[in-house]
Amino acid sequence: MHEHIAAVPLDKAFRLLNHGPTILVSARHDGVDDVMAASWACALDFDPPKLTVVLDKIARTRDLVEQSGRFVIQVPTVAQLELTYQVGHRSLHTVPDKLVRSGVELFGIDGQALPFVAGCSAWLACRLIPESHNQQTYDLFIAEVVGAWADTRVFRDGHWHFERADPALRSLHYIAGGRFYAIGEALDADTHTQG
C-alpha cells in the first residue's frame, strides 16, 4: 500500500462522500478490470455505512459490478482531471485499452480482491446489496461500505483538510461539457446556537 494511505474507521466513511465529489467506480470480474466516472453517488447510511450509485446499462463497469457483487468508489483529485473525464467518456466495449489510454494505474489493498485507482484521495470498498427493482428500473445500486481508506495528506483524524493540503489533492465536482469545479474554501457554522 502506498505510504500516505491509511484506513478510515467505517463510522467516518460517509465523510469521504458527504461533500458530493465526482467519483470513480472500479470493478473486477473474471480477469477484466474497468473504471468509470460518476457524479451520481451518494451516502445512504452512517453505520454500517451504505451508499447509492447510478450505473447506466451501457457501462461495462456495471456488468462487472453485477457479476462480482463488489466494487470500489474512489475520490479523484484535481491532478486527475483529465483521467476522470476520459474514463467517463471512453467505454471498455469499444476501447479495449481504455485504462492505459486514460492514464489509470491500479493497485491492490491486502485482503481486497478489487482494483483500486492510484492517485485518488479516498477509497471505499463496497459490497452490493442486490435490489433488482432499483437496478432495473432506475439503474440505482445500493451497497454496504466494507472498507475505507484515505490519503493522509488530505484526510486524517476523520476530517478532510483541503484548506491545508496541496490544491492538486482537492476533489472534483462535475457539471457537464468538460466543466468541473474543485472544492473550495472551508467555512465553519456556529455550532453553539441553542434551541
The residues that touch a second copy, with contacts defined as CB under 8 A, are 15, 18-22, 39-45, 50, 52, 54, 78, 81-82, 84-86, 89-90, 95, 101, 133-134, 138-140, 142, 158-160, 162, 170, 172-191, 193, 195
- For the chain, what's the residue count? 195
CB of 97 to a second copy, least distance (A): 9
Measured distance CA(85)–CA(175) in Å, rounded:
11
Nearer to a second copy, 105 or 163 (CB): 163
Please spell the DSSP secondary structure of 41-87, one letter per residue: EEEEEETTEEEEEE--TT-HHHHHHHHHSEEEEEE-BGGGHHHHHHH
At closest approach, how far in Å is the CB of 45 from a second copy? 7
Q: How far is the CB of 4 from a second copy (least distance, A)?
A: 20
Minimum CB distance to a second copy smaller for 10 or for 140? 140
Give whichever of 22 and 61 is closer to a second copy, judged by the CB atom.
Answer: 22
Contact present, 99 and 37 (Cβ < 8 Å): no
Report the C-alpha gap between 38 and 124 in whole angstroms. 14
CB of 147 to a second copy, least distance (A): 20
- For residue 155 the three cell numbers come to 484526510
| Residue among 28 and 36 whose Cβ is closer to a second copy | 36
